[in-house]
Structure 1
Amino acid sequence: MATSHRENIHRAAARAALDAPGVAALQPTLADRLALAASHVYRSQAEGTTPYHEAAGIRSELTPDGGWHVEVRCVLHADRRVVDVARQVREDVRTAVTTYLARHGAAVPVTVMVTVTRTV
C-alpha cells in the first residue's frame, strides 16, 4: 500500500483516538520526537519547508495475513477510568481505520492495541 495510504491510516487513527472522551493527547514516540527536533533545525536553515508529522503516537504495520495492526499511545485525563477510555479508543480507531480501508477497496482485518502512557 502506498505511503499516502499509510499516512491516511495514521490520520484516521489519530483523529479517532483524539475524539474519544477522556483522551488528552497522543504520546509521541522517540522517533517522532527526534524528527521534530531535527525539523526545527532544518526549518531554521530552510525557512520552514518541513511539516510536522501529524500522527505522533500512532504506529501501523501490515500483518502477514494482509490486515493492519495499529498501535495507539495516548495520554488520558486523570478523572476518567483508564480501562473504559482505552476500550473506547480501541473501538473508535478500529472503526475509523476499517472505514477508511473499505472506502479504498481493502476490506481487511484491523487490530488495535492501545497503550496508556500517563494521565494528566
Structure 2
Amino acid sequence: MSERDVSRVVANAVIEAVLDTPGVAFLRPGLADLLRSSALLRRGLPSTPAGSAGVQVRREKPGGDWSVEVYVVLHRGRRTLDVTREVRAAAAEAVGLVTGEPATGEPGTPRITVTVTGLV
C-alpha cells in the first residue's frame, strides 16, 4: 500500500472517530465540499457529509511521525476544552489502530492538533 493510500485510510479512521465524539457537530467543510453540497441540493439529491477538509493527515518524511490536523465545529452546552481533549484522544487512538503505532505522546507517536472553528 502506498504512503498516499495509508494517509487516506488514516484520515478516514480519524474522521469516523472524531464524528463519533460527543459534542462534535461536524468537521469544517472546505470550499469543494460546500460547492458539491450546493450542487447536490439544487438537483434534489441528498448531500454526503463533508469532512475531507476537516482532517488533514501527513507524514513529515517516509517512516516519520504522523501529523494530524482536525478542524471541528462543536455543539454548545459542553465545555470546549473537554470536547477538544476527547477529539484529540479519539484521533490519536484511530491513528494507532490503523498504523499500529502507540498513541502515548512519546517520540514516534502522532502529533494531533485540534482547532475549533465554530460553535452551533
Q: Is the TM-score greater than 0.5?
A: yes
Q: Distance in 2 between matches of 1:5 and 1:53?
A: 20
Corresponding residue for 1:33? 31
Q: What amino acid maps onto 1:69 in structure 2? A: S
Tell me which amino acid in the other structure corresponds to 1:82.
T
Q: Tell me which moved more, 65-74 or 54-63.
A: 54-63
> Are residues 1:61 and 2:62 paired?
no
Structure 2, unmatched stretches of 5+, are 40-47, 103-107
Indicate whether 1:19 and 2:17 are aligned.
Answer: no
C-alpha displacement of 1:55: 2.6
Instruction: Number of aligned residue pairs: give it.
Output: 105
CA-atom RMSD in angstroms: 2.6
Aligned residue in 1 for 2:88: 90
- Which ranges of 4 or more aligned residues in structure 1 deviate by more than 6 Å? 38-41
Q: Which runs of 5+ in 1 are unaligned?
A: 42-50
- TM-score of the aligned structures, taking structure 1 as reference length: 0.74
Q: Name the counterpart of 2:4.
A: 3
Identity of aligned residues (%): 34
